[in-house]
Amino acid sequence: MNRQIILIAFYFTIFTGLNLPVFSQKTDLKKLQKRIEGVYPQDIESSFQLVKIGLADAILYGDSLESTFFLDVAGEIYRIRGNYDSALFCLNNSLSLKANWTDLKDYSLTHNDLAKTYVNMGKYESAAFHFIEALKLMERSGNKLGQSFYLNNLGIVYDLQQNYLKSIEYYEKSLSLKKELGDTNAIAAVNINLGILYYNLGEFEASINALETSIRLYSDHPKRDKLARAYCNILLSYLANENLTKATIIREEIEKIYPEIVEEKLKIRALSAMARYDLKAGEIELALKSANKALDMAESIDAKANIKDIHLLKSDVFQAQNKLDSALLSLQIAMTYKDSLIDEKSIASVAEMESKYQNEKNKRIIKEQEIAQLKAKKKYENELQEKRENLLYLILVLVIAAGFLVVLLLRYRSKQKKYQMLMVQNALIDKRNKDLSRINEVVKTEIDGLKLSLDEKNKILENVVIKGTQKELSPELISLSKREMEVLCNLSLGYSDEELAESLHVSKSTVKTHLRRIYNKLLVKGRAEAIVVAHKYGLIGKD
């Protein structure tokens, strides 16, 4: 068990009667937390008893992680009860245990509770410090909802110091973020604060509009404290605006929900607001009774701001009763509290702190922008390089594909050409065979008609075949033109390309063209195979 946990245990043992058992079965702290969350803040007393049990077990087993939850709740309960020293003890210890906390939202909530305690004590400099620390944590985590919450709270600090322009600035910043997030409860909270601010500035219509918005948004909220706060403020605005009809309705609503109000300071404010209405309505004794009850409650928790307001209220009540000495005394007491709550040093200190925060924030924003620009530049360069590589790859693929297609096309054309030549040659061979058959039929008919002897018939047939052979070309030569046949005849004598050109009176390139066509038609690969075909069919000589 670390030293800090021991000190916390000592404090609670001495000041709260917390008993640490020597032996006990360890409580399921998670389940206990849920039980506390189920009753807090509606049932403060039950909550506090559960907190003491949980804190005792957390301390006994040295569980600093769980201790912070119970310390935070204990601190809030002490604040609500007006026991500010105990509240500060619990919350400051919780804050120190969270020194290296990764849950920035939870970390910020402890700063927030400390700030609220200092506000209740009238120590606005300390309150502003903790609200700003909480705001920094929310900016680090990028939590816009948390940022809006603490901007709103800083607006409250400036409002309490009567620095209304700064207060409006922070309220507007908070409201802008909350509208962006669509958080109706948060929007309602800011409108309550704006309503109070406009009331302090004497702009009662603006105050009523803001507070009516918050009442509409809070109408079904389970925590009645929020609605009660809006009711208290709008009642004062209606009274200031001389709208006694609506003020009467609101006073009745406050009286209905008063038993459900949990926070002590809000109960004091509700009593004060109803007393103000009673004074306006001419119910002087009822107003004084509510004011005295509120004052007793405020003094029991040392709520200085509330004490100041109630003494001002009593001064007005005494004036209505024509008790001028009592009225003057109450006014003097109120002025004393006013001087203690607001002083130039405190205002300057908060302003300086806010200036430092803004300076740090601006530096951080500039640094973040520089980092973002570098990241964007690097990302752009990477994307550009990737696009270049993809383009080169695409071009390479297209070139390979184009080359492959050209090769396929050339091979296809070559095959088609050979196929067409074979078809032509086969057609010519068929024609020759048909012609020979026809000649044979004619000869046979003639022979049969002449009734020649067998020897004579054979002799005639022999002559016909020889003549037919002389008239018809071979299958290989049948597709050649007259000029190509002439070139092949000369080629069979062994002439070179130059000699062929000279013999035929043409250019060498023309000779090459004729030779290429001859090779293709004869289905040979070159000069040697072509000459073999020429000799086969006795093509020797130029004619």
Integer Cα distance of 283 and 296 in angstroms: 20
Question: pLDDT value at position 10?
Answer: 52
Question: pLDDT value at position 273?
Answer: 92
Q: Which amino acid is at 50?
A: L
Is residue 507 within 8 A of residue 500, CB to CB? The reply is no
Question: pLDDT value at position 21?
Answer: 44
> Could you tell me what percentage of the chain is helix, strand and coil, using 3-state DSSP and rounding each to the nearest 5?
80, 0, 20
Mean pLDDT per segment of 10 residues, for the chain of length 543 residues? 55 50 56 80 82 79 75 88 88 87 87 90 87 88 86 84 82 85 83 85 88 87 84 90 91 91 90 92 92 91 85 90 88 73 45 54 63 78 85 88 87 78 68 70 63 53 44 63 84 83 88 89 85 74 43
Is residue 165 within 8 A of residue 354, CB to CB? The reply is no
What are the helix and strand counts (H, E) for the chain? 23, 0
Report DSSP letters for 41-94, one per residue.
TT-HHHHHHHHHHHHHHHHHTT-HHHHHHHHHHHHHHHHHHT-HHHHHHHHHHH
Question: pLDDT value at position 22?
Answer: 40
Query: What is the DSSP secondary structure assignment for residue 493, as one 8-state letter?
Result: T
Report DSSP letters for 54-68, one per residue.
HHHHHHHTT-HHHHH
Q: How far is CA 66 from CA 3, 34, 137, 273, in A?
A: 16, 13, 21, 40
Q: How many CB atoms lie within 10 A of CB 436?
A: 15
Integer Cα distance of 86 and 334 in angstroms: 27
Return left, alpha or beta for 505; rule: phi > 0 is left, psi -120 to 50 is alpha, else beta: left
Largest CA distance in the chain: 178
Q: Which amino acid is at 81?
A: R
The span from the first CA to the last CA of the chain, in angstroms, equals 125
Q: Dig out the tokens for 343 from the structure.
A: 């002083």
Question: pLDDT value at position 47?
Answer: 80
Q: How far is CA 128 from CA 24, 166, 265, in A?
A: 43, 13, 20
Integer Cα distance of 473 and 477 in angstroms: 6
Integer Cα distance of 341 and 257 in angstroms: 30
Instruction: Tell whether the torsion through CA atoms of 281, 284, 287 and 291 is positive or negative.
Output: positive
Q: Which amino acid is at 193?
A: N
Is residue 438 within 8 A of residue 472, CB to CB? The reply is no
Q: Dig out the tokens for 489 from the structure.
A: 């005849």
Q: Dig out the tokens for 10 from the structure.
A: 């000592």
Q: How many CB atoms lie within 10 A of CB 360?
A: 13
How far from the centroid of its chain's Cα atoms is residue 144's Cα? 13
Of the candidates 257, 188, 272, which has an alpha carbon nearest to the alpha carbon of residue 225? Answer: 257
Question: pLDDT value at position 245?
Answer: 92
Instruction: Tell whether the torsion through CA atoms of 37, 38, 39 and 40 is positive or negative.
Output: positive
Integer Cα distance of 178 and 217 in angstroms: 13
Integer Cα distance of 86 and 77 in angstroms: 10
Of the candidates 321, 307, 308, 338, which has an alpha carbon nearest to the alpha carbon of residue 278? Answer: 321
pLDDT digit string, tens, across residues 442-467: 756 665 665 545 555 455 444 544 44
Is residue 523 within 8 A of residue 531, CB to CB? The reply is no
Integer Cα distance of 92 and 483 in angstroms: 116
Q: How many CB atoms lie within 10 A of CB 118?
A: 23
Q: Dig out the tokens for 78 from the structure.
A: 């002490």
Integer Cα distance of 365 and 508 in angstroms: 84
Alpha helices in 281-323 (DSSP H): 284-300, 304-320
Of the candidates 74, 63, 126, which has an alpha carbon nearest to the alpha carbon of residue 97? Answer: 63
Q: Is 484 exposed, middle or buried (0-12, 13-18, 19+ CB in 10 A)?
A: middle
